[in-house]
């Protein structure tokens, strides 16, 4: 059934959210109870443009403006589960977009620092997160491939855009025992890489294939030519 925008309120999507958690997350192997509870507590429909609200809980990424997307629910869950956040931890996210992933992270960690390169997205995500009460998320506008040295080290780093290679500054800003998850590959296809830092050693493992919008910045892809 198509929904008319003026009929929407936050309670209306409870069945869609429950179905999303069961069919898209649990059945595909997301079993971490804390991650599932975090996702259950974030109203995803508040993070998508009005015209896409009736598809907010579908098994797809959705456009959020400027050629960018909100990640598919399963990818948000898989990346969040991979970094095993603890309640006292501080996490850095690169690519705030609409702020949905940051909101999910904020339920599991103490503080979330999120960097977005597009000023209009940084501003709207920051306003949205404040309005919805996600007060432990700090949104900054800038090139996230440089990280946020002034707030480092981080217990975990999540990069929500496709990197050609692991940005060095992010590795340097990962604390002892820190975990980083990011999509690495070309602009069409990437693989999720999990990197764990133990002393001087980095343990890398590859999770699954994925497709993200490009990470554009000094340690990412070059700025696309303006149209
Ligand atoms: N986590 C987001 C989805 C992000 S889409 C969500 O939950 O909605 C990827 C985002 O990364 C886009 O908004 C894009 O503008 C941003 N981005 C790309 N390169 C970046 C960079 N170098 N620094 C910060 N943000 C970047």
**DSSP one-letter string for 118-171:** -HHHHHHHHHHHHHTT-TTEEEEES-GGG--GGG--EEEEEE-SBBSS--HHHH
Pick from 3, 119, 103: nearest CA to 51:
3
| Paired strand residues for 96 | none
What does the pLDDT look like over 173-189, one tens digit per residue? 999 999 999 999 999 99
- Is omega for the bond preceding 108 within 30 degrees of 0, making it cis? no
Query: How far, in Å, from the CA of 123 to the mean position of ligand 1?
Result: 13
Which residues carry out catalysis? 71
Residues with CB under 6 A from ligand 1: 68-71, 94-95, 97-98, 100-101, 115-118, 121, 143-145, 160-161, 213, 215-217, 220
Task: Ligand 1, residue 144: give the atom nearest the CA.
Answer: 23
Place of tokens 């443009």: 49
Q: Whose CA is nearest to atom 16 of ligand 1?
A: 95
Pick from 105, 19, 116, 29: nearest CA to 64:
116
pLDDT at position 1: 44
Q: What are phi and psi of 105, to 5 degrees?
A: -60, -35
Q: Whose CA is nearest to atom 10 of ligand 1?
A: 95
Domains by residue range for the chain, with CATH:
14-210 (3.40.50.150)
What is the Cα–Cα distance from 129 to 144, expressed in whole angstroms? 19
Query: How far, in Å, from the CA of 139 to the mean position of ligand 1?
Result: 12
Q: The pTM is what? A: 0.94
| Paired strand residues for 38 | none
217 close to 121: Cβ distance less than 8 angstroms: no
What does the pLDDT look like over 52-100, one tens digit per residue? 999 999 999 999 998 899 999 999 999 999 999 999 999 999 999 999 9
Task: Ligand 1, residue 145: give the atom nearest the CA.
Answer: 22
What does the pLDDT look like over 91-149, one tens digit per residue? 999 999 999 999 999 999 999 999 999 999 999 999 999 999 999 999 999 999 999 99
Task: Ligand 1, residue 215: give the atom nearest the CA.
Answer: 19
The percent of residues above 70 in pLDDT, for the chain, comes to 94
Query: How far, in Å, from the CA of 164 to the mean position of ligand 1?
Result: 15
């Amino acid at each position: 059934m198509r929904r008319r925008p003026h009929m929407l309120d936050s309670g209306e999507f409870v069945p869609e959210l429950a179905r999303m958690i069961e069919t898209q997350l649990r059945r595909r192997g997301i079993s971490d109870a804390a991650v599932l509870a975090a996702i259950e507590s974030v109203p995803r429909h508040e993070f998508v443009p009005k015209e896409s609200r009736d598809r907010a809980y579908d098994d797809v990424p959705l456009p959020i403006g400027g050629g960018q997307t909100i990640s598919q629910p399963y990818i948000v869950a898989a990346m969040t589960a991979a970094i095993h956040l603890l309640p006292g931890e501080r996490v850095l996210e690169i690519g705030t977009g609409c702020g949905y992933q940051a909101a999910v992270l904020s339920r599991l960690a103490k503080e979330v620092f999120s960097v977005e390169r597009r000023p209009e997205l940084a501003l709207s995500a920051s306003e949205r997160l404040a309005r919805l009460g996600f007060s432990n998320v700090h949104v900054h506008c800038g090139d996230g491939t440089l990280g946020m040295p002034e707030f480092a080290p981080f217990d975990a780093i999540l990069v929500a855009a496709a990197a050609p290679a692991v940005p060095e500054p992010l590795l340097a800003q990962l604390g002892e025992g820190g975990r980083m998850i990011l999509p690495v590959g070309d602009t069409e296809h990437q693989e999720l890489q999990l990197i764990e830092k133990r002393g001087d050693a980095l343990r890398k493992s590859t999770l699954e294939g994925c497709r993200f919008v490009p990470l554009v910045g000094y340690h990412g892809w070059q700025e696309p030519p303006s149209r």
